[in-house]
Structure 1
Amino acid sequence: MADPRAALQRLIDERGEDYASLSRLIGRNAAYVQQYIKRGVPKRLAEEDRRLLARYFSVPDELLGGPPADAARTEADLIVVPRLDIEAAAGAGAIGGDERPRAHFAFDQKWLRGLVQGDTQRLSIIRVEGDSMVPTLADGDEILVDCAGIGERLRDGIYVLRIDEALIVKRLALNPSSRRVSIKSDNAAYPTWPECELDSIDVIGRVVWAGRRIT
């Protein structure tokens, strides 16, 4: 593999760039790029710095020291999460469908473990139906639900609940002194249920991530 410092210097020369401008581009002090090329400090560019420079010069990340573009991921790098054929209503409540996987999504293991603390085997993806959690969640959003250890780790956040056989997605606010919770909608047009007994609520899981189609 070519020396990434030499490659960066060649790009600078060919395109008439200067060290200080490139350093500012990546949010570093004016001498940063020059020190990297001429003195070898730092030994390697930080990942985000390298990617910014590669995008700026429209060259492969690999040219500046990144991994090969075709490097294959191993199964050990990924965690597969099922997308269940059910919906959680962000509205008046709806009966869930069959709790069978409709599809599977593979997530980077390191990234996923930064989101969840418990057993990643207790994760699932379901679809939001309704508008009571707008603007946080919209109709049709896909949400990643963590069902592990809910009882011991209940805290303020957005959860999927089962009420009268209906699945709903709401925000829970825990009162630490009374150990009661308020069930809230982020959309002000919907009511809040204050000071509910914890025993009266069937908490399915905590929403830790959401995906949305951009139209």
Structure 2
Amino acid sequence: MLMLELDALDPDAVAEKLPITATRLRDRLLETGMTQEELAIAVDATQGAISQIYTGMTRRSRLLPAIATALAVNLDWLVGTSDQKIDMFDADGKDISEDDLALIRAGRSQKRLSNPAQLETPQTIITVANSNEASVPPAAEEDEDDEIVEVKEIDLRFGMGGGGYLEVPVKKKPRKFTRGWLRLFTNAPHTRIFIAQGIGDSMAPTIMNADMVIIDTSENEVQFGDQIWAAAYGQTGVIKRLRPLPDGGVKILSDNPLVEAETAYDGELHVLGKVVAVIRRMAG
């Protein structure tokens, strides 16, 4: 069983960079000397919720505005849409709001920053995709479609632990596919793709026992309801439909009507990736 860092999810990609929000959260915590536990208390959240942002497993969170306020830094820098970092204090050492900062930047406020020189840093605006997370520059073009690449296989018969790391049980011998075939289902790099074999009938008839599924770990944020994901829940690897709830929880749904739905809250569910294909042997 391999211990894989959440932002990498593959031993060949352990050095891959964390999302910019996670990187900047780490930097600001070091600057302020605040711990994750103290930050969780300050924003009225669980330490598990902070850990998910810290490890890069959650890139977009309703907690980010409150986290920026607690760390006294501008939100657009924290989420990666600007390179201009501002300490959110005025010249008298009092906290300033995002609205105050906007007025100061526009020259329409009598307030002054505690460190006015920070406004002299060019405010590089980074193009965003979908939400708060800065878009990732496109990767260099990969080799031809007929190139053979290796894809690791997860063994869902073993549990997958949660927390800052996932214990992802990977089989020793990888599977081999052509890039072109994988691109029929996802454009993710092959190092971010796993395959797994479905176990049991909880997702029947969509996924039957022993069906093979392809998992894209470059997609690991549940933004739309009822899509199928591979995840760790209760130390167990699962393949389920996930539905975000207004209270911050996630409903775990099975296609088999005989299997009851469950609800996970902060720190209980760790998403590995999105199921992008099901491969089934024809009967007969």
Output the TM-score relative to the length of structure 2: 0.41
- Residue 275 of structure 2 is aligned to residue 204 of structure 1: no
Kept after mapping to 2: 8 A contact 1:81/1:123: no
Kept after mapping to 1: 8 A contact 2:145/2:179: no
Partner residue in 2 for 1:188:
257
Matched position secondary structure for 1:202: strand
Change (3 A) 1:102 1:185: same
Deviation, structure 1 residue 179: 3.7
Deviation, structure 1 residue 105: 3.0
Name the aligned partner's letter for residue 95 of structure 1. G
Q: Can you list the C-alpha shifts for 1:5-39, whole angstroms capped at 9, x where unaligned?
A: xxxxxxxxxxxxxxxxxxxxxxxxxxxxxxxxxxx
**Paired residues for 1:50-199 under 5 Å:** 76-78=145-147, 80-84=149-153, 86-87=155-156, 95=159, 98-109=169-180, 112-113=182-183, 115-151=185-221, 154-156=223-225, 157-175=227-245, 177-194=246-263, 196-199=264-267
Change (3 A) 1:122 1:213: same
Matched position secondary structure for 1:137: coil
Partners of 1:115 and 1:179 in 2: CA distance: 30
Deviation, structure 1 residue 98: 4.1
Name the aligned partner's letter for residue 134 of structure 1. A
The total of aligned residue pairs comes to 133
Name the aligned partner's letter for residue 198 of structure 2. V
Matched position secondary structure for 2:182: helix
Change (3 A) 1:122 1:168: same
Name the aligned partner's letter for residue 247 of structure 2. S
Deviation, structure 1 residue 197: 2.1
Name the aligned partner's letter for residue 146 of structure 1. D
Larger radius of gyration: 1
**Paired residues for 1:16-27 under 5 Å:** none
Partners of 1:124 and 1:155 in 2: CA distance: 21
Partner residue in 2 for 1:214:
282
Matched position secondary structure for 1:121: helix
Q: Could you tell which deviates more after superposition, 156-165 or 139-148?
A: 156-165
Kept after mapping to 1: 8 A contact 2:252/2:261: yes
TM superposition outliers: structure 1 runs of 4+ over 6 Å: none
Partners of 2:182 and 2:218 in 1: CA distance: 14
| Unmatched tracts of structure 2, length 5 or more | 1-142, 161-167
Partners of 1:120 and 1:103 in 2: CA distance: 12
Name the aligned partner's letter for residue 106 of structure 1. F
Deviation, structure 1 residue 158: 0.7
Deviation, structure 1 residue 149: 4.1
| Unmatched tracts of structure 1, length 5 or more | 1-73, 89-93
Output the TM-score relative to the length of structure 1: 0.52
Q: Can you list the C-alpha shifts for 1:69-113, whole angstroms capped at 9, x where unaligned?
A: xxxxx855346242425126xxxxx5378413434231442x533
Partners of 1:185 and 1:81 in 2: CA distance: 30
Deviation, structure 1 residue 181: 1.6
Q: Can you list the C-alpha shifts for 1:47-86, whole angstroms capped at 9, x where unaligned?
A: xxxxxxxxxxxxxxxxxxxxxxxxxxx8553462424251
